[in-house]
Structure 1
Amino acid sequence: MGKADADGPGLPDLPPEWGRVVIPDDIAALADEAEQIRRELRRAAAGSRRWRPPTGPVIVLIVAVLTTIAGLAAVTWLRAGRTGPSASTPEPTPAQLVGRPLPALDLVDAGQSPVPLRGLLPVVVLLVDGCTCLEQVAEAARTAPPGVTVVTVADTRPRAAPAGAPVRALADPAGGLRAFLHVPASPDGVTALLADRTGRITLMVPEVASISDHQAELARLAG
């Protein structure tokens, strides 16, 4: 027979003369008692055309079956609540991303060859999956200090960088970088991400108007 659930509901108060009522873990354990109830009811129906209330032992069995069903349903509901989905984790703000390590993601080039993101450090990453924004990309290429890689990241395939600009065009088909940043693509701007040579994020701007507004952070990338 079963045992009481540690967190489950207890039995309702029953007459003491009924004795100890145990709730089994499996309702199938009451098959014999249920069959006895059916036999009692069949005998009562066969003996008289008028229905007679079941006897005392049968009432006890009926109450035990109903109590077991209610108890198992309550326990199942409580356990489902305890194991249900937890509260969602708050999404990090741009300021909270600063200081975190750049994720070890593989982007792809025009030939679909993998390019490790952390192999491009120090780096200025411009996510252009929502807006090509060639002017902002060209400005970033002009403004970035020597030794700092400027990368554009599109969604499905790399987009051509401005002619003559030292920019590496890559793609992130799996969307791992956007998922890490928790920032949706915007048709009106470029998301900028800066990481130093140790892989630490130094700046994240969801929609950058002009990369030249962040000259101090750019200069520190070359340090």
Structure 2
Amino acid sequence: MGKPDAEGHGPADGLPGLPPEWGRVVVPDDASALAAEAAQIRRELHRTTDLPGGHRGLGLPLLVLLVAVLTTLAGLLVVTWPRAGRTDRPTPAPYSPPATLTGRALPALDLVDPGQAPVPLRGLLPAMIILLDGCQCPDRVGDALAAAPAGVSVVTVTGGRTASPPPTHQRQVRALADPAGGLRAFLGQPARPGAATALLVDRTGRVTLVLPDLGPVHAYQDDLNALAR
């Protein structure tokens, strides 16, 4: 039967402010449910006009019924009328890494290379670690390789058990896979299609920069150079 408005407007099972002798007035979900009451009012009005003096005895009950029907209709319109600004879906929040991630220690994760051999991630530091589970982004990876100073590893990480082969460059990228998803869990954010996430980690294992969407080199060149010091 009756139900509250989606935004909390309107009663849950009746309308307030009516005389108690009218009993419980419930707002139906469908206005067609009031057709029977409306037809009854019309029949009673015709009957009282045909009977002498009948309108005096039935006038007040009919008036009460008419007011109840009209009040119910008004309440139903309040419940179902669309309101400006109502949205069916929440607006998704923009992607952002955890605020406390920068400065935290990289966990001691063992990833696997293309031959399925375990590789301790912390043994490759200092490093720029690029997660490719949302985008292979070969151009961005190539730019990072060209920009990385000597002594700084560039590591690409894919999900699953198979490491993607590194792109062809003068300097080799270290391609690894993360079957357990430990690195993505450390980030605390899911992969986004079309975006490669990157971490800069210094030789002590401290995260110095998080790039939720790996962009042009100028956005991280200074931080990348600092890893070589």
TM over 0.5: yes
Measured in 2, the distance between the counterparts of 1:181 and 1:200 equals 14
Q: Which residue of 1 aligns with 2:215?
A: 209
Counterpart AA for 1:155? G
Q: CA deviation at 1:94?
A: 4.2
Residues 95, 204 of structure 1: 8 Å contact kept: no
Which residues in structure 2 correspond to 1:47-58 (within 5 Å)? Answer: none
Measured in 2, the distance between the counterparts of 1:124 and 1:168 equals 10
User: What SS class does the counterpart of residue 96 from structure 1 fall into?
Assistant: coil
Deviating above 4 A after TM superposition, structure 1's stretches of 4 or more consecutive aligned residues are none
Residues 195, 213 of structure 2: 8 Å contact kept: yes
Measured in 1, the distance between the counterparts of 2:131 and 2:147 equals 17
Which residues in structure 2 correspond to 1:212-223 (within 5 Å)? Answer: 212-223=218-229
Q: Which residue of 2 aligns with 1:160?
A: 165
C-alpha offsets along residues 4-47 of structure 1, whole Å, 9 cap, x if unaligned?
Answer: xxxxxxxxxxxxxxxxxxxxxxxxxxxxxxxxxxxxxxxxxxxx
Match status 1:151 vs 2:162: no
Residues 128, 201 of structure 2: 8 Å contact kept: yes
Uncovered stretches (5+) of structure 1, i.e. residues with no partner: 1-91
Q: CA deviation at 1:126?
A: 0.2
Which residues in structure 2 correspond to 1:192-207 (within 5 Å)? Answer: 192-207=198-213
Counterpart AA for 1:207? D
Identity value in percent:
56
Uncovered stretches (5+) of structure 2, i.e. residues with no partner: 1-95
Measured in 1, the distance between the counterparts of 2:184 and 2:206 equals 17
User: What SS class does the counterpart of residue 222 from structure 2 fall into?
Assistant: helix
Measured in 1, the distance between the counterparts of 2:141 and 2:98 equals 21
Q: Which residue of 1 aligns with 2:139?
A: 135
Q: CA deviation at 1:209?
A: 1.7
Which of 105-114 and 178-187 deviates more?
Answer: 178-187
Residues 97, 212 of structure 2: 8 Å contact kept: no
Measured in 1, the distance between the counterparts of 2:98 and 2:175 equals 24
CA distance 1:118–1:152, shift in 2 (3 Å): same
C-alpha offsets along residues 92-151 of structure 1, whole Å, 9 cap, x if unaligned?
Answer: 944421110011000000111100010000000000011111000001100011100000
Bigger helix share: 1
- RMSD between aligned alpha carbons? 1.4
